[in-house]
Amino acid sequence: MNMLTITGSPHIHGDNSTKKIMYGVVLALMPAMLVSIYFFGLNAVRVLLLSVFFSLFFEWLIQKYLIKGAITITDGSALVTGILLAFNVPSNMPSWMVIVGALVAIGIAKMSFGGLGKNIFNPALVARVFLLVSFPVEMTSWPKPGVLPTGLADVITGPTPLGYLKEGLGAGKSMAELSQHLPTYMQALMGQLGGSMGEISALALIIGGLYMLWKKIITWEIPVSILLTVFVFSGILWLINPNQFADPVFNLLTGGLMLGAIFMATDMVTSPMTRGGQLLFGFGIGLLTMLIRVWGAYPEGVSFAILLMNAVVPLINRGFKPRRFGKKPGVAIG
Amino acid sequence: MGVLKTFALGGIHPPENKLSANKYIEVLPLADQMVIPLGQNLGAPSKALVKRGDKVKAGQLIGKGEAFISANLHSPVSGTVAKLDNVVDASGFRRPAIIVNVEGDEWLDDIDTSDELRTSLDFTPEEIIQKVKDAGIVGMGGATFPTHVKLMVPQGKKAEFLIINGVECEPYLTADHRLMLEKGDEIMVGIQLLMKALKVEKAIIGIENNKPDAIAHMTQLAKSYSGISVQALQVKYPQGGEKQLIKALTNREVPSAKLPIEVGCVVQNVGTAFAVYEAVEKNKPLVERVITVTGKAVRKPSNFKVRIGTPIKHLIHAAEGMPENTGKIIGGGPMMGKALFSEEVPVVKGSSGILLMPEDESHRPDEGPCIRCSKCTQVCPMGLEPYLLSRYARIGRFEKVEEERVMDCIECGSCQYTCPANIPLLDYLRLGKNKVGAMIRARNKR
Amino acid sequence: MSAVILYFVASKFKVYEDPKIDQVEEVLPSANCGGCGFPGCRAFAENAVKQAKDEHSLEGFFCPVGGNEVMQKVASIVGLEIKEQAPMIAVVRCNGTGAHSPEKVKFEGVTSCSFAHTLYAGEGGCQYGCLGLGDCVDACEFDAIHINPERGLPEVNDNCTACGACVIACPRDIIELRKKGPRDRRIFVSCVNKEKGAAAKKNCEVACIGCGKCEKVCNFDAITINSFLAYIDFEKCTLCRKCVEVCPTSAIWEVNFKPRKPKTEKPKSADASNKDLEVNLVAQAIEKKAQPGEGEAAKTKEKGSENLKNKSEK
């Protein structure tokens, strides 16, 4: 018989593991990946591969030579960051910029805070914002969706629906005029519109989201509160003046909202720990997104909204505690 | 049967592995030497009344519980006291014990060892409590709190319900299950005696739904005993925790740092009810109990009726031997049981099971960083935040640990079971509870 | 204008502080370790000056980091005379290494002695022995105590200021503050097992069995036996080493003594490793390294003393 082991209880463990969660997210991202490759072709494959490879590479490099600690690149978190970073950039992004993005996402937003579990801001979003500010031209010219295009250069670019909308409204055109050139709901669901690689197909993202809910990787509070807030806010505005504001369904299906609500805001490390906190978090993101969309300088505000709310999360965690057992004793006798 | 009830907050669903659920209780033959520790209850250990060379009979008083929270100790066998010495207990600490060489199986004259069912309720509440005290009965669910103290309701509080814990929510364990199936009537009489002692009119037996035969059997029996009802409960760990059980059965929540009597409830294990029956009706003190010996590699998972003081290697032998690949011996269930120091450790009043874990399940998986998934918070039945408590405990901020209510922790282990990063949350929570407990004691002294 | 206001406010609300406090703080080591019992060097200075003024004594004030040198300076600032205090050092009173106390079980879990102490007795089975998980190391602010990975036990080096943090941290009261001794020499019983001899010896071959031989042979009444455990009073001990010679289990340690002339009898193996360790401690002290011990148990006594000679010649 072997030497007995002494440990404290419990002596059994459930089958949850960090790896399972991360690879579950990767699986949930597959539908959106396939849509992206379908509409953007080889360019999409290029950006995805670069983003994933360099995210893993930089994590390995930093862990081996800077931190000189354990190498954890197989836990799946860098893989998720790589895919999400690719989803946040247009498919015609120059390769070297994608690599810089990976370095910012892993090196600055994740590793310098202490690695997995210690970062305050969503790494893929930090990289996206960094790239947007550093390379505004490349980050705001989106290829028109084709059908499995194999060309890597000379893609025809155009604005996203939200960008088109902002410009048009700014130039004084009315909604009725503009909506002729905007995609239909069906097109928005399926992905036939301009946008960053992962943003375009709301349906693919929703499928991924449902998968994650089923596997208990995410809970419903954050996506639902974000989408509901956006819906109500934009609904109120649209009811007041349908010529000036886009309708709520349009707001839900276009831009980076679906991607942000389902995959970016729900990142466990950077979101609140209690359900109440998560609802407030989602409300804040929805509100900020609409404020930026309607009155801000940018056509899309999800990334900024999420990053701003990430900063508030520690405060939310302080304020929202789980319900304690024994707070309400019910009917006591004696 | 009605709708399945349960507690609302938290909980997990570990695999049940009730390998010995349909194994009848076997009486284990006596060993040659019994090792009877003096400290088998919460509170002060008993004081030895015998010395080397004394002859004892089964059921004879050999240790006196002198402090307020203490219990009597009786010899489980007849024979000669070999010596009084320190022996290794479950944790490897050496504690005082009485060692008896077994000779025959002679009981004291006034003890009825027959199987005849006695149902007389002709005792006053005070008499019942006194007999329970004399018999050295302690909580058989594992906590080993002296039962007679629990039955003495403090001034100003009133008991409304007696709750009988037939839940057995720990995976692998089946002792209570078999006891309900095979000694149902005796348990019912025991419950009636407890009801009389507490002066309550209602008793509810909570049984988890993975024991449908026990639920059916006890429900059938309960028809003939007034005031006793059976409630089926959803299978969820830790349903058998006192506070969770009270919440499930009566929808009342025991306030933080208070006892169940605060909400008018007293909880007793079915094994304790059975022991009360034997003590009051048969004059038989607590000297034996049912224990499950189980494990995936055990050749014959069984339920044994053993005398306290039997070294557990005898039980393992009776279950057809220690499996070759055993890496850990657990006293109790896999969620809250204690890893035992060796197989020489004796059975005590609180032993509910012996679980032999295979080597590949005996080691802690590698720890990763906390990914802040909040699963631990979602499963905590007391509404605590294990990730926060363990972080504070790790960095030594014990005043914060107290503030975040670590003393409410029931040490069920749900958090550590669920954690995807394999963080030893319960280890840190225990460390926190220890330090905070010491802080509170130091504060109260001043 | 604001400068004028500030000047008036500053002078009106000025808190008078005895200038001696600043002077005392100046000579203190600024470690803010709490070893003196005060929350920081400033607090020590304030209280010392106050007591010196009110009671004309510095009784109860001693800075373990600065030692007698610093205390003399403090005394001269406040205009008092003080006696020199004997320097103290933390002593780990357990020698239950893997060789002496073989493992019976394997522990896995949080590396905290406070936690492990409540969980189980110890891997060697002795419930009084060192668990080797390093609560003392975590508590030390002077880098003075480290776990020797070969022995599995903590070792104290010259950085020790006897602040007492490790003593409090140890859940089994194994560490004690004892006099450093003349030329850094001291003798102590390296065991705190209170069980009967047979039981103690079953778990560890170098345990104190409470046989009483040391008590009998001591001419200075320095040794008392309580509950099967011998204890040497460091105030009375004259370092004559008679007790070390008679101890049957080599539980008594002599630290930093010159090795004795080799006897005709072959020394016990436990004894040899004890002496090797003592030699290594001297070597350490001479090299003034903060690293834990370098010895293998295989080194012989002679090689040990050779090392000592070589190192002292450097």
pLDDT tens sequence across A281-296? 999 999 999 999 888 8
A143 or B202: which carries more pLDDT confidence? Answer: B202
- In angstroms, the Cα distances linking B127 to A252, B123, B147, B271 are 73, 6, 14, 20
Of B255, B384, B419, the CB nearest to A329: B255
Residue C297 pLDDT > 70: no
What is the predicted pLDDT for the residue at A284?
96
Are the Cβ atoms of A324 and B365 closer than 8 angstroms?
no
Condensed to tens digits (0 to 9), the pLDDT of residues C134-179 reads: 999 999 988 999 999 999 999 999 888 888 889 999 999 999 999 9
pLDDT given for residue B177 in this prediction: 96
Compute the nearest-CA separation of C237 from chain B (Å): 33
Question: Residue B446 pLDDT more than 80?
Answer: no
> Are the beta carbons of A4 and C103 separated by less than 8 Å?
no
> Average of pLDDT values for A46-52?
95
Between B140 and C292, residue with greater pLDDT: B140
Among A136-150, B89-103, C279-293, the minimum mean pLDDT is found in C279-293
Q: Does residue B3 lie in a domain region?
A: yes
Percent pLDDT > 90 in chain A is: 63
The Cα B105–Cα A251 span in angstroms is: 84
pLDDT band of A316, cuts 50, 70, 90: very high
In a domain, B370, yes or no: no
Distance CA B73, CA B233 (A): 35
Chain B contacts of A11, Cβ < 8 Å?
A: 328, 330, 334-335, 337, 339, 355, 357, 361-362
In a domain, B246, yes or no: yes
Q: According to the model, what pLDDT value does residue C268 have?
A: 46
B294 and B431 co-located in one domain: no
| Structure-token match 């019942």, residue found | B128
Which two three-digit tokens encode residue B303?
């339920």
Specify the higher pLDDT residue, A160 or A268.
A268
Asked whether the beta carbons of residue B427 and residue C115 sit closer than 8 angstroms, the reply is yes
Comparing CA positions, the residue from C177, C186, C297 lying closest to residue C240 is: C186
Please state, in angstroms and rounded to a whole number, the distance separating the CA atoms of residues A285 and A273.
Answer: 16
Percent of chain B with pLDDT over 70: 100
Statement to judge: residues B7 and B115 lie in one domain: yes
Please say if the pLDDT value at position B12 is more than 60.
yes
- Say yes or no: B266 and B326 in one domain: yes
Contact list, B370 vs chain A (CB under 8 Å): 117
- Residue contacts between B and C (CB atoms, under 8 Å): 50
Which residues in chain C are contacts of B427 at CB distance < 8 A?
A: 109-110, 115
- Is pLDDT at A193 greater than 80 in this prediction? no
B172 and B244 share a domain?
yes
pLDDT computed for residue A309 by the predictor:
97
A5 contacts C106? CB cut-off 8 A: yes
Q: Do A322 and B254 touch (CB under 8 A)?
A: no
Tell me what pLDDT residue A334 has.
29
> Which of the given ranges, A180-184, B3-7, C215-219, has the highest pLDDT on average?
C215-219
Neighbours of chain C (3+ CB pairs under 8 A): A, B
pLDDT, residue A188, reads 74
Which pLDDT does position B19 carry in this prediction?
94
Q: Last residue of a domain, which of B302, B336, B363?
A: B363
Domain that holds residue B203: 1-24+110-363
pLDDT score recorded for residue A167: 80
* Number of A–C residue contacts, CB under 8 Å: 24
Name the pLDDT band for C56 (thresholds 50, 70, 90): confident
Give the neighbours of chain A: at least 3 Cβ pairs within 8 Å.
Answer: B, C
Q: Does the beta-carbon distance from B434 to C112 stay under 8 Å?
A: no
| Percent of chain C residues topping a pLDDT of 70 | 83
Number of independent structural domains in chain B: 2
> What's the confidence (pLDDT) of residue C262?
66
Any domain includes B174:
yes
Instruction: Among B312-321, C76-85, C236-245, C298-307, name the one with the lowest average pLDDT.
Output: C298-307
In the predicted structure, residue B175 carries a pLDDT above the cut 60:
yes
In this prediction, residues B153-170 reach a mean pLDDT of 94
Q: pLDDT tens for residues C241-275? A: 999 999 999 999 999 988 877 655 444 444 444 55
Distance CA C42, CA C30 (A): 8
Judging contacts by C-beta atoms under 8 Å, the chain C residues touching residue B86 are 195-196, 199
Over residues B35-84, the pLDDT tens digits come to 999 999 998 999 999 999 999 999 999 999 999 999 999 999 999 999 99
Q: Is residue B56 part of a domain?
A: no
C64 versus A205: which is more confidently predicted? A205
Give the domain CATH number at B15.
Answer: 3.40.50.11540
> Is residue B184 in a domain?
yes
The distance of A178 to chain B (nearest Cα, Å) reads 43
CA distance B367 to B386: 16
Percent of chain A with pLDDT strictly greater than 70: 95
Q: State whether C104 and B435 contact (CB < 8 Å).
A: no
pLDDT digits (tens, 9 = 90+) for C86-108: 888 999 999 998 889 999 999 99
Inter-chain residue contact B369 with A118, CB threshold 8 Å: yes
What local confidence, expressed as pLDDT, does residue B293 receive? Answer: 96
B313-316: list long-range contacts, CB under 8 Å, 24+ apart: B313/B343, B313/B344, B314/B28, B314/B31, B315/B28, B315/B291, B315/B347, B315/B354, B316/B343, B316/B354, B316/B356
The pLDDT of residue A162: 81
Convert the pLDDT of each residue in A79-104 to its tens digit.
999 999 999 999 889 999 999 999 99
Looking at the structure, tell me whether residues B346 and B391 fall in a common domain: no
A9 touches C at CB < 8 Å: no
Say if residue B348 is in the same domain as residue B381.
no
- Among the residue ranges A195-199, B72-76, C224-228, the one predicted with the least confidence is A195-199
- Rounded average pLDDT over C217-243: 93
Q: Do residue C106 and residue A4 have CB atoms under 8 angstroms apart?
A: yes
Is residue B438 domain-shared with residue B303, that is, in the same domain? no
CA of A281: how far to CAs of A110, A309, A317, A321, B243, in Å?
21, 6, 10, 14, 33
Distant-in-sequence, close-in-space partners of B60: CB < 8 Å, separation ≥ 6: B74, B75, B108
Task: Kindly determine whether residue B157 and residue A333, on different chains, have CB atoms separated by under 8 Å.
Answer: yes
Region C117-128 average pLDDT: 93
C105-114: pLDDT as tens digits: 999 999 999 9
Of B86, B91, B364, nearest to C119 by CB-CB distance is B91
Q: How far apart are the first and last CA of chain A?
A: 56
pLDDT at res. A153: 57
Which residue, of B318, B343, B363, is where some domain finishes?
B363
What is the pLDDT averaged over residues A29-54? 92
Neighbours of chain B (3+ CB pairs under 8 A): A, C
Q: Would you state the pLDDT for residue A266? A: 96
Domains in chain C (CATH in brackets) are 16-78 (1.10.15.40), 88-313 (no CATH)
H or E element at residue A256: none
pLDDT(C279) > 60: no
- B284 and B430 assigned to the same domain: no
Q: Based on the fold, state whether residues B200 and B120 are members of the same structural domain.
A: yes
A1 close contact with C: CB closer than 8 A: no
Backbone angles phi and psi of A258, in degrees to 5? -60, -50
Confidence of residue C277 (pLDDT cuts 50, 70, 90): low
pLDDT for the residue B36:
96
Q: Do C104 and A3 touch (CB under 8 A)?
A: yes
pLDDT, residue C296, reads: 36
- Give the model's pLDDT for residue A296: 86
Put simply, the answer to whether C121 touches B91 (Cβ < 8 Å) is yes
Partners of A115 on chain B (C-beta within 8 Å) are 369
Q: For residue A219, what pLDDT band results from cuts at 50, 70 and 90?
A: very high
Report, as an integer, the average pLDDT of A71-78: 92
Query: Is B414 inside a domain boundary?
Result: yes
User: Is B410 found in the same domain as B359?
Assistant: no
Q: Nearest CA of chain B to the CA of C116: how many Å?
A: 9
Mean per-residue pLDDT, B250-262 = 92
In this structure, the dihedral spanned by the alpha carbons of residues C301, C302, C306 and C309, taken in order and rounded to 10 degrees, is 70
Residue A180: predicted pLDDT: 74
pLDDT tens by residue, B114-136:
989 999 899 999 999 999 999 99
**CB of B241 closer than 8 Å to CB of B9:** no
| Domain end point (choices B363, B397, B423) | B363
Sole residue written with tokens 């969980």: C119
B229 touches chain A (CB under 8 A): no
The pLDDT value recorded for residue A155 is 60
Contact in structure between B398 and B391 (CB atoms under 8 Å): no
Indicate whether B79 belongs to any domain.
no
- Nearest Cα of chain B lies from the Cα of C108 at a distance, in angstroms, of 7
Instruction: Note whether A11 contacts B335, CB cutoff 8 Å.
Output: yes
Cα–Cα distance, C123 to B206 (Å, whole number): 41
Inter-chain residue contact A6 with C119, CB threshold 8 Å:
yes
How close C99 comes to chain B (CA, Å)? 19
Question: In 3-state terms, what secondary structure has residue B317?
Answer: helix
Q: Could you say which of A12, A20, A269 has the minimum Cβ distance to residue B417?
A: A12
The pair of structure tokens assigned to C21 is 């406090």
Q: For residues C238 and C185, give the distance between their C-alpha atoms in angstroms, rounded to a whole number.
A: 10
Banded model confidence at residue A299, pLDDT cuts 50, 70, 90 = confident
B318, B387: one domain = no
Contact list in C for residue A8 (CB cut-off 8 A) is 109-110, 115, 119
Pairing assessment for the beta strands B61-64 and A4-6 based on DSSP bridges: unpaired
Q: Check whether residue B328 and residue B399 sit in a common domain.
A: no
